[in-house]
Structure 1
Amino acid sequence: MELTRRHALAGAAALAATPLLPNTPAKAVAPLADKQAPSFYRYKVGDIQVNAVFDGTTTFDLTDSFVLNAKKDEVNAALDKAFLPKDKMTLLFTPLAINTGGKTVVIDTGMGGAAYASSKGMHGQFATNLTAAGIDPKSVDMVVISHFHGDHINGLLTADNQLAFPNAEVLVPATEWKYFMDDGEMSRAPEGRMQTVFKNARRVLEAGLKKKATPYEWGKEVAPGLLAVESIGHTPGHTSYVLSSGSDKVFIQSDVTNHPALFVVNPNWRAFFDQDPAQAETTRRKVYDMLVAEKMRVQGFHYPFPGLGNIVKEGSGYRVVPAQWSPVI
């Protein structure tokens, strides 16, 4: 060991005494970039190609009410453990475009074109990244919506309230549609956030979509290889999907969890945006136990991009093991 240390010290001294590069001035300096490259990632599920297309992020100050049954200090500790900044929360959004059975199917749509302008490009990137991925919004055959929160439906419209996917059939969960289009349910919704959710859902879905929207039922294929799965709690009609081709599968989990550093590690934590927090926790544990048992891949809408991985059991919670990035499809 002493011999190794002496050799290491001698080598370090030699490096310090010898310039690594010739002392010549650089002939050109590359300008600093001010934005990321277009964000999309492709992978296969059997014969189906999945395009994970990033919509961006939103960051807000962490409050005591963000997690209903955990103190802010506990949430900060979980963020710190995941090497994330304390006292703030950053949420991520990744809709999908899949090529299945000769059809191009979009699953959820992100924050929308109006949000792209108001956030100065921090989110609402789905349309531009979709185009960068070589998918023309006019060529989309079908848009499948998991639930009616704004980060999933607002991208149905452009910044000037036109249809973002003018030739697409729009499919929505029948239970979600019935609930949010019910005037009685809207009248009983608490003031504040829930009234805002109702009003936004109607704004988006009635802006030329009401006659085009097709409700779908759980337990049935909504597109070739795409099975709709009940995963309620986050909203009354919240839906996830199992995408299958041959023996290969991936679970598209919508909002079963939000950021995994908090809600995968701590499945008992109840986020303020879960409409029925107790049911959401029950659903979360049921889904994640199934993913562990079946070793099925999972695609997370709110996971760090590109959002693909596997779930392992860890202590009283779970952990996401990110899929290795592949340079080929």
Structure 2
Amino acid sequence: MELTRRHALAGAAAIATAPLLSAAPTKAAAPIADKQAPSYYRYKVGDIQVTVVSDGKNVFKLEDSFITNAKKDEVNAALVKAFMPPDMMTIHFAPLVINTGGKLVVIDTGNGAVSKANSKGANGLFADNFVAAGFDPKAVDLVVISHFHGDHVNGLLTADGAPAFPNAEVLVPATEWKFWMDDGEMSRAPAGRMQGLFKNNRNIFEAGLKKKVTPYEWGKEVAPGLLAVETVGHTPGHTSYVLSSGSGKVFIQSDVTNNPNPFATNPGWHAFFDQDGDVAEKTRRRVYDMVVAEKLQVQGFHYPFPGLGNVEKDGGGYRVVPAPWNPTI
């Protein structure tokens, strides 16, 4: 319909007589949020339900010593290629909760309450997100530990030093237990980080848990559907897992790599926290060749959240393709 002169004049008059809008600033409909929602993500492997529970992340300045056999310029180039900022490194942490239907199983426990306070809530969030995901620490049957680094074992204790999962049996790799509980190994540990790890592990397992742990062997099920797999190098007893149910299967890699950028794309690079860099590299290549050949999905403790992905060969390295987010379980 054409706009007639009469309509135009009527509209102009209406505008002229309308009250002026208030000059006062408008208020937002809702306050700006200052934190994320609790971070957890669920998926199924056959009849077993997996809940990935974020423990947060650690962001720190990249030092020359972080990757022991690569130049900082090379590392920065790899970070930029992966759309990550240069001169900075981000490490993610994601323990798992496995509900087999008959057992509630936790795999690794995050950085713990002290780290939550020290990092001002950047990490050490596993306990909070665990409860937010609907779990009760008293209902956990088993806690399975992959290796004895602080970001995996510190969450075994609460802020006041009590067991975080009071009714759970704590399962640890037999080789890992033997190494860290050996007084001779502790006496030979280099000053600094290694001595600190021995002290921390003794505090957790001897003082906090009072040695109430059960060592397990590789090649055996440690929980229903959860097979322990030797993946040494990162530590002497470092362990990964194959979770199987029905036709479903996922490889839980623990610390075979840290953040896949740059450690999957450059599997020959050695991180300073790999206790034996050469062995860790051989393990990394062996494991990733296996998951590529068998087309196994991989759950990575240090992958960006929620850490489930698929791996493919990419030149001399590997590319991790994140699994699509599924809004249903």
Give the alignment's TM-score, normalised by structure 1: 0.91
Deviation track 1:25-76 (CA, whole Å, cap 9, x = no partner) reads 8564321111100000000000000000000111111111111110011111
Q: Which runs of 5+ in 2 are unaligned?
A: 1-20
In 2, the alpha carbon distance for the partners of 1:224 and 1:328 equals: 24
Partner of 1:252: 252
Q: Distance in 1 between matches of 2:210 and 2:222?
A: 18
Q: Shift in Å at residue 118 of structure 1?
A: 1.5
Count of matched residue positions in the alignment of Structure 1 and Structure 2? 307
Rounded Cα–Cα distance in structure 2 between residues aligned with 1:27 and 1:85: 35
Aligned to 2:268: 268
Instruction: Note if contact 2:265-2:319 (Cα within 8 Å) is conserved in structure 1.
Output: yes
CA contact (8 A) 1:111 1:153 kept: yes
Residues in 2 aligned to 1:101 and 1:212: alpha-carbon distance in whole angstroms: 25
Name the structure 2 match of 1:127: 127
How far residue 232 of structure 1 moved from its aligned partner, in angstroms, is: 0.1
Q: Cα offset for 1:117?
A: 1.3
2:182 is matched with 182
In 2, the alpha carbon distance for the partners of 1:37 and 1:101 equals: 27
**Deviation sequence 1:178-234 (CA, Å, 0-9, x none):** 000000001111111111111111111113323310000000000000000000000
**Deviation string for 1:143-165 (max 9, x for gaps)?**
00000000000000111111110
User: What code does the residue aligned with 1:256 have?
Assistant: V
Amino acid paired to 2:159: A
AA matched with 1:207: A
Mapped to 2, the partners of 1:80 and 1:27 lie a distance apart of 39
Q: Which residue of 1 aligns with 2:320?
A: 320
CA deviations on 1:288-314 (whole Å, 9 max, x unpaired) are: 000000000000000000000110000
Structure 2 SS opposite 1:143: strand
Amino acid paired to 1:228: A
Q: Which residue of 1 aligns with 2:173?
A: 173
Contact kept in structure 1, 2:157 and 2:208, CA below 8 Å: no
Moved more, 192-201 or 121-130: 192-201
Larger Rg: 2
The equivalent of 2:279 in structure 1 is: 279
- In the TM superposition, 1:99-118 aligns within 5 A as 99-118=99-118
Secondary structure of the structure 2 residue equivalent to 1:266: coil
Give the % identical residues. Answer: 74
Q: SS state of the match for residue 84, structure 2?
A: coil
Cα-to-partner distance string for 1:94-130 (whole Å, 9 max, x where unaligned): 0000101411000000000111112111100000000
In structure 2, distance between residues paired with 1:297 and 1:121: 30
TM-score by length of 2: 0.91
**5+ unaligned residues in a row in structure 1: which ranges?**
1-22
CA distance in 2, matches of 1:212, 1:324: 40
- Which letter does structure 2 place at the counterpart of 1:129? N
Would you say the 8 A contact 1:67–1:272 is kept in 2?
A: yes
The question of whether the paired residues in 1 share the 8 Å contact of 2:112 and 2:157 is answered with yes
Query: What's the counterpart of residue 12 of structure 2?
Result: none
Q: Distance in 2 between matches of 1:56 and 1:190?
A: 29
Between 168-177 and 192-201, report the one with greater CA deviation: 192-201
Corresponding residue of 2:191: 191
Cα distance in 1, alignment partners of residues 28 and 210 from structure 2: 56
1:205 is matched with 205
2:230 corresponds to which residue? 230
2:154 match: 154
Q: Is the 8 A contact 1:40 1:51 kept in 2?
A: yes
Q: Which residue in 2 is equivalent to 1:73?
A: 73
Corresponding position of 2:138 = 138
